[in-house]
Amino acid sequence: MTTLPIRTYGDPVLTTATTDVEEIDGKLAALVESMILTMHEAPGVGLAANQVGVQKRLFVYDKGDGAHAVVNPRIVETSGEWTYEEGCLSVPGLSWEIVRANEVHLKGYDLEGNELDIETNEYEGRIFQHEVDHLDGVLLVDRLTDEQRREAKRTLRKRRLALQRDDHDGLRQLLGE
């Protein structure tokens, strides 16, 4: 089991919708183990497969009670509103107050192929909405107000320019220095 590189803002894999998992097998279980390790080491509370470059409809999460995987998740119903400060492993170091639904009804499958049918709210519901957004090719910055989005893009542009000055050939980033 090894950690995986997390794709960050600007990587086109993050804005491409994923495809359904066709088969739940040992290969998928190994991917889930690596994703959980990656999520915990980042640290984060959720990680979608496309955030590690895998275009399959799958995410892992851990709201503090142990890690879980959801295969082919779909949010079938939402209601209410809840504003909460939200960050993203693919947009590291930044967070914003985001309005999302408070109550969420999610369906999917576990790693044994058993159907999941989860009705939840607040924090867990926010995790589900955030990760399903990733799987649909929607980034956190897409959920910002116009003013928040302008500021976020300025900050991200400055970061990218600083990286290019400090690491013009990308080797430092590639080598993890």
* pLDDT of 165 above 70: no
Active-site pick, 103, 131, 147, 151:
131
Q: Is residue 135 part of a domain?
A: yes
* Alpha carbon distance 9, 32 (integer Å): 22
Do 173 and 131 share a domain, yes or no? no
4: in domain: no
Q: Residue 173 — pLDDT band, cuts 50, 70, 90?
A: low
Q: Please, which pLDDT band fits residue 160 given cuts at 50, 70 and 90?
A: confident
Closest to 131 (Cα-Cα) out of 168, 172, 100? 100
25 and 62 belong to one structural domain? yes
Q: Are residues 50 and 99 in the same domain?
A: yes
Assigned domain for 3 exists:
no
> What tens digit of pLDDT does each residue of 69-112 get?
999 999 999 999 999 999 999 998 899 999 999 999 999 999 99
> Where in the sequence is the domain holding 156, given as residue range(s)?
145-177
Give the C-alpha distances (Å, rounded to integers) separating 102 from 99, 123, 135, 146, 173: 9, 8, 20, 22, 38
Provide the pLDDT for residue 159: 77
Tens digit of pLDDT for each residue in 103-137? 999 999 999 999 999 999 999 999 999 999 999 99
Question: Measured between alpha carbons, how far is 9 from 109 in angstroms, rounded to an integer?
Answer: 28
Residues 136 and 177 in one domain: no
Residues 140, 150, single domain; the answer is no
80 and 19 housed in the same domain: yes
Q: Are residues 31 and 104 in the same domain?
A: yes
Would residue 119 show up in a list of annotated catalytic residues for this protein?
A: no
Q: CA separation (Å) from 158 to 97, 151, 162?
A: 21, 11, 6
Distance in angstroms (rounded) separating the CA atoms of residues 100 and 170: 36
Tell me the one-letter amino acid at 151: E
Which of 79, 27, 87 is CA-nearest to residue 58?
27
Residues 6+ apart with CB under 8 A from 167: 173
Instruction: Based on the fold, state whether residues 79 and 134 are members of the same structural domain.
Output: yes
Please state whether beta strands 68-79 and 82-88 pair in parallel, antiparallel, or not at all (unpaired).
Answer: unpaired
> Do 80 and 123 belong together in one domain?
yes
Is residue 124 in a domain? yes
- Total domains in the chain come to 2
CATH of the domain at 102: 3.90.45.10
